[in-house]
Amino acid sequence: MRGSIVRGMGVGALATLLTMSASATGGTGSMDSFIGERATQSQRAHAALQIELALMNAGLESEQRAYRVPNIHWALDLIMPPQTGINVVAQLPASTPSERNIIIGAHYDTVPGSPGADDNASGTYAAIELAERLSELPVRNTNITFVLFDAEEDGAVGSNVFAAEWLASGRPMHSMHNIDMLGYDGNGDGVFDLDAPNGPVADAYLAAADERGIRLVRANFSSSDHVSFRKRGFTAVFLSENLTDGDFNKAYHSPKDTVIDRAYMERGIDLAAGAIEALVAP
């Protein structure tokens, strides 16, 4: 994206901060440690550190990619400062050298005033658990990049920055998999929504759902981080709880978003893992 600035953090400083973060939260990347408002810059910076710690515990090295970019509309550049944020990125290389790349992403920020359990501590946790599971595969024919996006709630800024940088790099991308809100099943029917273009990627999800006895509803969503990839021509998938059949989480974007249905979420993670495993280890 225009003007993005990528910077790394020294390993020593990071280790110190991660230790401080772990002792402050009493956790080492457990799901509970992701629940809590992550709206202000300081809250998001703290969350980014927690995510790095969790990825480290999952066995992956990660980096913070800070960005400073123009606003989502040029007119705002006339009266507002640039937007800043941090994407957290971890690489899981293929077991043999490969040019194939899959991106797995979720946003970690919240709207102000919401603890963001369902939106999107659930997706954050899912991405990290997927990192752990996929890293245990003995053979992978695809490089997998895990990205925890900043500022989805402020116009999908983090994912736009990442997708633009990827496009500029010229590297091929097989598909992007966005997980946003995976922790609410009010009617207990166990259904998930899938927005994916017809083809091998959608087929992988449908097959994984069949194998697990999960009903998937095909849907279309024009918001969230996958859109940042689609508008640049990449294949992108959106997996979420059942948002479309009158089972919408009433706590959405509110202070009441404090609970995750863990059993349901784990089924969603298992579904995503099954589909992505089929794509990276056929």
Partner 1 sequence: MSGGGILLLLTLALWAWRAVDYALIGSLAPLGILAFGAVTLGLGALAKGRWWRSAVRIWGTMMLLAGLARAGLSIALAFDPSVSIHASEAQTAFYHAATALHLVAGIWLIVRPPERPAITRI
Give the footprint of partner 1 on this chain (CB under 8 A): 1-5, 39-41, 68-71, 74-75, 77-83, 111-113, 151, 153-154, 157
> Least distance to partner 1 from the beta carbon of 271, Å?
32
Rank residues 13 and 79 by Cβ distance to partner 1 and give the closer one: 79
* Tally of CA atoms within 13 A in the half-sphere of 203 that contains its CB: 5
Secondary structure (DSSP) of 223-268: SSTHHHHHTTT--EEEEEE--SSS---TTTTSTT-----HHHHHHH
Sign of torsion, CA 34 29 27 67? negative
Quote the least distance from Cβ 85 to partner 1, whole Å.
9
Closest contact distance (angstroms) between CB of 158 and partner 1 is 12
Looking at the Cβ atoms of 69 and 127, the one nearer to partner 1 is 69
Task: State which residue, 5 or 20, has the beta carbon closest to partner 1.
Answer: 5
Q: Of 59 and 113, which CB lies nearer to partner 1 in the complex structure? A: 113
CA dist 97 and 263 (Å) reads: 36
Beta carbon nearer to partner 1, 255 or 282: 255
Provide, rounded to whole angstroms, the least separation between the CB of residue 186 and partner 1. Answer: 24
Whether 88 contacts 63, CB under 8 Å: yes
Smallest distance, partner 1 to C-beta of residue 72, A:
9
Q: Which is nearer to partner 1, 1 or 48 (CB)?
A: 1
CB under 8 Å, gap of 24 or more: what pairs does 210-217 form? 211/274, 212/267, 212/270, 212/271, 212/274, 214/190, 214/267, 214/271, 215/189, 215/190, 215/191, 216/191, 216/192, 216/271, 217/191, 217/192, 217/193, 217/242, 217/244, 217/245
CB of 74 to partner 1, least distance (A): 4
Contact 180, 238 (CB under 8 A): yes
